[in-house]
Chain A
Amino acid sequence: ETGVTQSPTHLIKTRGQQVTLRCSSQSGHNTVSWYQQALGQGPQFIFQYYREEENGRGNFPPRFSGLQFPNYSSELNVNALELDDSALYLCASSSGGPGRTTGELFFGEGSRLTVL
């Protein structure tokens, strides 16, 4: 186990609704990133938070937003849900910031979102 926990594990929403997904990072990790993994595809980078600030974003619209808290846990919020938002959402933590590390990511088991 990586020590990264995500909640909820599964949820079903309808189009137009809003959803919040939560992530507790591994102890000592100050960087959290979120990925979207559609069925049959590799994960796609949504954004990264380092010390409570967003410091990297992938090609996702503004209705995907996030927060990182002082204890380095994080939330992913998605507004105005669309059918294509159905996916596994993975949270990953790492020891970020400048410094010599391999930068490997430690992933949680994900939150599987279904939008009807």
Chain B
Amino acid sequence: AQKITQTQPGMFVQEKEAVTLDCTYDTSDPSYGLFWYKQPSSGEMIFLIYQGSYDQQNATEGRYSLNFQKARKSANLVISASQLGDSAMYFCAMREGGEDTGRRALTFGSGTRLQVQP
């Protein structure tokens, strides 16, 4: 079974509108972390936001927020007030095991290509 599933290969959004990118995950580990990365055409993976499995509140970082629904095993990324520079690939990723394990390996989904239209 896929550990990280991103069901939207591509998304379009109008500039200044909000957009939600979907991500579901599968793990039996009670302690895990969820990440979103942005990958522009340059190839570099840019960290956006992190949610720990025991975090009580949804993570927010500027225009990015993570809609974490633990029971449904979903971790959707919400981008508010989209900008042209937001056009890129977006990847959801998971680290199994707690933050104190020293393990840093991430399992990535297949990504969603977001295109922001003027």
Contacts and interface: CB of A to CB of B under 8 A. Distances in A.
A108 B105 contact: no
A106 to B, nearest CB: 7
B73 to A, nearest CB: 18
Interface stretch (B13-21, B37-45, B63-71, B74-82): B37-45
Contacts of B99: 99-103
Given A55-B102, A96-B102, A103-B99, A43 B44 contact: no
Contacts of B57: none
B96 to A, nearest CB: 11
Contacts of B91: 42-43
Interface residues of B, number: 28
Interface in B95-118: 95, 99-111
Q: Is the interface of A mostly helix, strand, loop or mixed?
A: loop
Given A43-B91, A103-B99, A108-B44, A33 B52 contact: no
Nearest to B95: A103
A50 B102 contact: yes
A81 to B, nearest CB: 20
A41 B4 CA distance: 12
A58 interface: yes
A88 B89 CA distance: 14
